[in-house]
Amino acid sequence: MAPLRRLREMLEEQAAAQFTAAIDSGFVSGIQSRESASQRPATAATSELNANGKRKQVDDLATTGHKRRRPSPLALRDIEAVRAIGAGGWGSVHVARVKRQSAHPLDRPGATFALKAVGKVSFRDLERNDKGSNQRHAVERRNAERNHLNALPWNPFIAGLVDVHTDLKNTYLTLEYGACGTLYTHMRDLPSLTDREIKFYFANLVLAIEFLHTHNIVHCDIKPENLVLGADGYLLLTDFGLAQTLHSNTSWNRMGTLDYMSPETLSREPLDSVEKRAAADWWAAAVSLFEMKTHCTPFECDSEAELKDKHKNSPLVWPPGVKAHPSLEGLLFRMLHYDLPHRLGATEVPEGKDGSMINREIRRHEWMKSINWDRIERKIATAPRVPNLIPDEDDRIHNKRFPEQSKVPGLPLKRPSPRLEWYEIKTEKEPSPRKKRRMSGQYSMCLPPGPLGPPLPRSPSMAVERGSIVVEA
C-alpha cells in the first residue's frame, strides 16, 4: 500500500504545481484557491527572507497569483506619448505606450495605443456657439464620441475605446492602434491596388458599417483617412467624432467631408426615414471604393453648390488610363445613383439570431461573389497584403511636430532624439491635395432631446431600416 500512497501523493503534487503555474500564467481565472479567504493574509503584500536573513515585502501577486485576477487600470501617468500622428477636427492624436512595470502576468509594458487628446476649450466653444436652448444637450454632444464607443461591444473592424483619462486641459481617449498607417497613406505610396486587395478592404468596410448600423450608430465621416491598417492587414474604422445615433427623434446635423457627403446629407429635405440617414455611410463607402481604384473621388468639388450640381447632372466618369472590371463599374454606378430608391445597397436586412443588419445587395453583387464573408468576419482569411514589419516607433523619423508639455500637462512625453525629430521647412504654400472635414450650412443645431419615440418610418419604396446623418433636419 505504501507505494500506491506515495504514487498518489506525487500525482497530487504534480497536479497542484500545474494548477499554480496555470494561474500564474493567466490561463485560469475566477477559480478559488484551496486556501480559504479567511486563511489568506489581509494585505496585498507578504514577506519573505532575503539573502541577508531580513524580511522584505513582495507583491503577493508575484508569489501566489491568487490575490488579483486582473491588473489595476492604467492611469495617465502609466503611459507616455512617443509620436504625434496628426490633428483632427476635435483634437490631436498621438501614439502612446505603456511604461508601467508590473509583476502581474497580464500587464504588458510596451503595449501601444492611439491616444486622442481633445482640448476642453473645444468643449466650451461648442457650448457657447450652440444655438439650442438646452445647454445640457450641448454637454452631451461634446461627449458623443466617447459615449458611442463606450456603448459598442468589441469588434475586429472598429478601433475600440480602451480607457478615458483627463487632466486640467484635455480629455484623452485611449483607442486601439492600427500600427501600419491609414488606407489613404497606402493608396498614396503604392502605384495601384489590385482588385483582390480592393475587394478585401471594401469587405472590411462593409462589415464595419453593418456592425455600426446594427448597434444604432452611423459614422457619418467614412473616408480612407479614417481607415487604419493593423499588423494583420485588416482595416479598422476610427474617428467617431461625427457619429450619430440612428433612431433619434431630435434634429440631425449634416456634417462630413464634402467629397464624401451623400445627396441626402446635402439636401434641405427632412431626413425623416432610416434609409436617408444611413445613406451617409453607404455613399461614402462607394466613394472610398472608387478612390481605391482610381486614386481620386468621383465628384471632386470646391463648394457645396458645385457638389449638388455634380450629383444631379454629372455622369460617373472614370479617369483615363484606369481599366475597371465591368462588374465593378456596374456596382459603383448603382451605389452612386442619385435617386435613393434605385440605389444599390440602400436596404439592410436584419438577419441571424442577434438581429444583425446585413446588406444583401452588396454582398451578393457579382463583383463581390468571390468574397468569403464568414472567413473575413472571423479574421480567418489571410489579408492580401500583410505588412512585413510592424514599425518601430523609436527608430522612425517623425513627420509631425511633437506636442509641447504645456499643451498636454498630465501626459508624460518621451521626446525623440534630435536626429529623428521633425523640423519645419518653410516653403511656398501649396494647396492641400485633400479637403478637410467640412460642415454643411451654418453652425449645427443642437436641440434638446425628447423622449424616444417610435422607430423612424421606412420609405414607401424601400423594404428595411437604415442609418443616420447631420445641420437641422
Name the binding residues for ATP.
116
Task: Classify the phi-psi angles of 210: left when phi > 0, otherwise alpha if psi is within -120 to 50, otherwise beta.
Answer: alpha
DSSP letter string, 287-341: HHHHHHHHSS-TT--SSHHHHHHHHHH----PPTT----HHHHHHHHHHT-SSGG
Q: How many Å is the maximal CA-CA distance in the chain?
A: 96
For 207-221, b/e burial (b = at least 16 CB within 10 A) is bbbbbbbbbbbbbbb
Phi-psi region of 187 (alpha: psi -120 to 50; beta: other; left: phi over 0): alpha
3-state secondary structure at position 12: helix
**Cα–Cα distance for residue pair 308/266, rounded to 1 Å:** 7
Whether residue 263 contacts residue 218, with contact meaning beta carbons closer than 8 Å, is answered with no
Length of the chain: 473
Task: Provide the grid cell at 270.
Answer: 427632412
The contacts of residue 109 (CB under 8 Å, 6+ apart) are: 98, 99, 100, 101, 102
Looking up cell 507616455, which residue turns up?
80
Please report where in the chains the cell 493574509 appears, as a residue: 41
| 466 neighbors 350 (Cβ within 8 angstroms) | no
Residue numbers in the known binding site are 116
CB–CB of 335/345 below 8 Å? yes
Q: Which three cell numbers stand for residue 459?
A: 420609405
Which DSSP string corresponds to 245-291?
ESS-SS----EEEGGG--HHHHS-S---SHHHHHHHHHHHHHHHHHH
Who's near 310: CB < 8 A, 6+ residues apart? Answer: 299, 301
Helical axes 274-294 vs 195-214, angle rounded to 10°? 160
CA-CA distance, 467 to 469, in Å (whole number)? 7
- The CA distance from 341 to 275, in Å, is 9
- What are residue 351's DSSP bridge partners? 356
